[in-house]
């Protein structure tokens, strides 16, 4: 099983606020997190050339995965190996419009 961490407190707080603002999306992200815990490679691996440069600089990622959520939302995470432990770092979630902007589609 994989440990889940948030890249920063801002992402964690945004996710926690969803419980009040959009319970439907909150439940789907919680479900996604459980699926990632069980199988961290269950999602779509994003080619390195498409990594957002700000995330590379801020989070120093060398891999990036996308989990498709309902209504065009996406959850993004990177995997880090710590000794024999694998940790999924949640980098963010966004709707499809913002996803296309972030990844220059």
- pLDDT tens track for 11-29: 999 999 999 999 999 999 9
Tell me what the pLDDT averaged over the chain comes to.
91
Percentage of the residues of the chain whose pLDDT score is greater than 90: 78
- pLDDT tens track for 45-77: 999 999 999 999 999 999 999 999 999 999 999
**Gap between the Cα atoms of 40 and 58, Å rounded:** 22
> Sign of torsion, CA 101 90 76 83?
positive
* CATH number of this structure's domain 3-102: 3.30.2310
Using pLDDT thresholds of 50, 70 and 90, give the confidence band for residue 82: low
The H-assigned helical ranges of 39-76 are 53-59
> Three-state SS for 36?
helix
Q: Does pLDDT of 83 surpass 80?
A: no
């Amino acid at each position: 099983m994989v440990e889940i961490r948030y890249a920063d407190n801002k992402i964690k707080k945004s996710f926690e606020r969803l419980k009040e603002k959009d319970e439907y999306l909150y439940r789907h992200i919680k479900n996604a997190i459980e699926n990632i815990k069980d199988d961290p490679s269950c999602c779509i691996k994003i080619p390195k050339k498409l990594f957002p440069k700000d995330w590379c600089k801020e989070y120093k990622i060398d891999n990036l995965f996308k989990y498709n959520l309902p209504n065009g939302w996406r959850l993004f995470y990177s995997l880090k190996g710590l000794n024999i432990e694998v940790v999924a770092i949640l980098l963010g979630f966004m709707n499809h419009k913002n996803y296309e902007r972030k990844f220059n589609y």
